[in-house]
């Protein structure tokens, strides 16, 4: 039940992010739209959920991000799973409770995701599609900063989803 809750939350966040992109398009600042799903995936990773189930939810959320963003298929799918596994490996469950640590986690993992996206585009990007690192790198810093700005809100939302699904499933574990 918890994984379904996080998946549905991821869908809602993707829809909000898509509308936020349309709304902020007039600002002319590249990359100002935050990644709303990244803090959700980091939350799942640092709170030590099942590795297989969490990676599957991260995979599905990343795939939906690929579809909505129009990026090459597999780009955010792969990076979302990698971010989940890295967050899981970091094992900073207790440290993720403060707002400042949530912001720092968001900065670190958003930077790692941006670096990974640029690296994958350098390897697999094609000039004729426009998906090359030199056309995408200006988006990285504004996206990292705006993602860090919204991370505490997403962590709070994820904590509510977690507690709501915990009450539904009881003490017996995931359904």
The rounded distance, in Å, linking the Cα atoms of 40 and 61 is: 10
Q: How many beta carbons lie within 10 A of that of residue 120, not counting itself?
A: 17
CATH number of this structure's domain 2-163: 1.10.1760
> Cβ(142)–Cβ(31) under 8 Å?
yes
pLDDT (tens, 9 = 90+) of the chain, 175 residues, equals 788 899 999 999 999 988 888 777 667 776 788 899 999 999 999 886 788 999 999 999 999 999 988 777 888 999 999 999 998 887 755 566 788 888 888 999 999 998 998 888 877 776 655 556 666 777 888 889 999 999 999 999 999 998 888 776 554 444 4
**pTM confidence score:** 0.84
């Amino acid at each position: 039940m918890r994984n379904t809750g996080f998946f549905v939350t991821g869908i809602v966040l993707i829809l909000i992010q898509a509308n936020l992109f349309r709304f902020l398009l007039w600002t002319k600042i590249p990359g100002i739209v935050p990644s709303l799903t990244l803090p959700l995936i980091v939350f799942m990773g640092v709170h030590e959920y099942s590795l297989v189930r969490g990676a599957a939810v991260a995979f599905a959320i990343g795939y939906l991000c690929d579809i909505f963003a129009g990026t090459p298929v597999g780009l955010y799918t792969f990076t979302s799973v990698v971010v989940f596994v890295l967050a899981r490996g970091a094992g900073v469950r207790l440290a993720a409770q403060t707002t400042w640590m949530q912001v720092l986690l968001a900065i670190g993992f958003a930077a790692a995701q941006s670096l990974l996206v640029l690296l994958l585009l350098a390897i697999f990007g094609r000039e004729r599609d426009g998906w090359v690192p030199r056309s995408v790198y200006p988006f990285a810093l504004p996206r990292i900063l705006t993602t860090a700005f919204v991370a505490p809100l997403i962590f709070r939302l994820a904590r509510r989803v977690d507690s709501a699904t915990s009450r539904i499933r009881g003490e017996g574990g995931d359904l």
